[in-house]
Amino acid sequence: MENVQELLPYIELESIEENIFRGKSHPFVGKRVFGGQVLAQALAAATLTVPEERVVHSLHGYFILPGDTSLPIVYSVDRVRDGGSFTTRRVKAIQKGQDIFVLAASYQLKQEGFDHQIEMPDVPSPDELLNDQELLEKFKDHLPENLSWGARPIEFKPVEIPKMFIPVAGEPFQNVWVRAKGTLGDDPRLHQQILAYASDYNLLSTALGPHPITIDKLQMASLDHAMWFHREFRADDWLLYHIDSPSASNARGFTRGSLFDQQGKLVASVVQEGLVRKRRKK
């Protein structure tokens, strides 16, 4: 995909019955559905059942089974509660009669309250950095032959050289500028769905920081994903994704991310744990 507009048909859902929706999958590496896609679609399904004046402030999801890109995904929404300030939804993503992903999301009316945040790290601006495709070309002679990716609807500009390009032991953190390629409209809920999609990138690779191993020798998969939306933002403007990995153990990597806009405003936080282990010999 060259532009985020090409992603939107895969985020938009078809209404089948009340509280039941269907989405299609875009091709990804291999036959498995990209975790960010099912996350964004499940969020879109929940959002379709919530009044427009309420926006999601937190979501928690579990990846249960790998999705099949050749099949549609059915989303069943449970309207848990409609309160005075908060609205709660549960969503099941289903393929072949089995749950492949479950999501809980909470929505809120805009309200006044206390306001503070942590500071954004001092890093180079995106204008000073190469994007992921340019880095792939620069380091192509040092990469495994089977490591490649097609055009993606999200652009990335890493501040540090990514682990996959230089497999040496380092620190368990990274900073990556991210934005949707092209422009989106002004619906804040769509920007949240696109950022949810993008937030699944770069997390688990951060857990590899202290470990000198190439990505082609690893098995990695997202297990759970949580996200909090703090302030308004645009997903088609550059956002700094500051990620660290406090722990890796028992074949799992634990990662955290903070997303800042270019003015230093903290707009969202992310936590993810995933399977990270050496690929088993067949």
Query: Residue 245 catalytic?
Result: no
Helix, strand, or coil (residue 184)? coil
User: Which one is catalytic: 37, 41, 222, 258?
Assistant: 222
Name which of 125, 41, 129, 134 is nearest 91 in CA terms: 41
Q: Where are the beta strands (DSSP E) in 12-54?
A: 14-17, 20-23
Query: Residue 272 catalytic?
Result: yes
Distance of alpha carbon 223 from alpha carbon 201, whole angstroms: 14
Map 222-268 to HEC letters. Answer: EEEEEEEECCCCCCCCCEEEEEEEEEEECCEEEEEEEEEECCCCEEE
Alpha-carbon torsion angle 164, 168, 172, 175, nearest 10: -50
Query: Residue 108 catalytic?
Result: no
User: Which one is catalytic: 132, 174, 200, 245?
Assistant: 200
Catalytic residue IDs: 200, 222, 272
